[in-house]
Amino acid sequence: MTEQTGPLKGLRIVEISGLGPTPFTVQLFADMGADVIRIARPDSAGAEKHLLGMENDPLDRGRDVLELDLKSETGRGVARRLIVQADALVEGMRPGVMERLGLGPGDFPQNPRLVYGRMTGWGQSGPLADRAGHDINYIALSGALHAIGTPETPVIPLNLVGDFGGGSMYLAFGMMAALWHAKATGQGQVVDGAITDGVAHLLGMFHGMAANGLWRDHRGVNLLDGGLPWYGIYPCAGGGHMAIGPIEEKFWAAFQAGMGFAPGDLPDRADKARWPEMRAMIAERFLSRTRDEWAAVFEGTDGCATPVLSLGEAVRHPHNVARRAHVVHEGMVQPAPAPKLSRTPGAIGPGSTRNRITAEVALARWQA
């Protein structure tokens, strides 16, 4: 049994095993102390059964796993008994699947406080609700993918914007809001977590900028998409890159000083016609030193210039080390629980591969 600590200790969650944004949503709860039982298909353990071939996935940490065949009445019966005792459920099936199993939101009148979290790409309704898709499809239709990349082509931002940003984070937030309401009223509800909805919400500032004439629907011409010479990425000698973002005047002054430009050396930032010239001058200067040499120059300054680090380098960076942003857990480097709470910090639980439990153990635990 996974020992629970943290601010959500005592919160009972049933997780129906799923992909990407579903386990990450539950990881957020588990890291903060929720008591999670994952219902997985029989014989689901092992790297060969994992979509990405991982034996131990950090997204799966901190919960116990109960293997049930939900196509059998016996398996569904155990699942029902657990859900009746739960505070919340998280599932990522296509719309209608849980209802056909007799495990939908309306099948638990004896648990009126149940918060039923549903994670999908397109949502529970709408013309695309029954269609398959992945992160890239959801961010494409939400407008985010078009805005990210080079002037020539959109660039895939991993699956951070859709699955995890617009999906998991929004579902977790919606469930916490619903759990707060259930605590006050005894009434649960369905949280319809559509990745497309979450990504649309993430884009709110950019819709506002567009409405005010401050955003154009072309990549590489706007404030935060690399359109400005002073907000972008530059290659250095030796192959590394530096990321710069000195938007405010005082930071721009610090940046110029670090680069060795005297006041007036670079064109006036207000003169857009000379931006290509400015970009070329900055690019040429960055190519005069290696990334690590430039990182040393800007260390301790407000020039808003930082090295572009790989995953392995980020783990070793002194700031991330000081913040304990990563930990070694069960032989694997993993991100630590975030954010950090001053009184009741989160903690990493064992990986799910080590916590297979039986139906008897699960039912007895929550009946106690």
Question: Which residues carry out catalysis?
Answer: 134, 163
Cα Rg of the chain, angstroms: 24
Do 334 and 61 form a contact (C-beta atoms < 8 A)? yes
* Alpha helices, H only, 157-267: 169-185, 195-202, 204-211, 249-259
Do 15 and 79 form a contact (C-beta atoms < 8 A)? no
Tell me the C-alpha to C-alpha distance, in Å, between residue 165 and each of 138, 157, 193, 362. 12, 11, 12, 31
**Structure-token match 């997204």, residue found:** 59
Token readout for 107 is 């099948």
**362/360 Cα distance (integer angstroms):** 6
Strand partners, 305: 244
Q: Which residues contact 150 (CB under 8 A, 6 or more apart)?
A: 219, 220, 226
Query: Closest by alpha carbon to 98, among 192, 196, 195, 166?
Result: 192
* Alpha helices, H only, the chain: 21-31, 73-85, 97-100, 135-142, 144-147, 169-185, 195-202, 204-211, 249-259, 275-286, 291-298, 311-316, 318-322, 359-367
Full DSSP string of 226-255: T-STTSEEEE-BTS-EEEE---SHHHHHHH
**168/272 Cα distance (integer angstroms):** 40
Do 365 and 86 form a contact (C-beta atoms < 8 A)? no
Residues across the chain = 368
**29/300 Cα distance (integer angstroms):** 36
Q: What is the DSSP letter of 53?
A: -
Token readout for 231 is 């907000």
Q: Which 3-state string (H, E, C) describes 130-144?
A: CCCCCHHHHHHHHCH
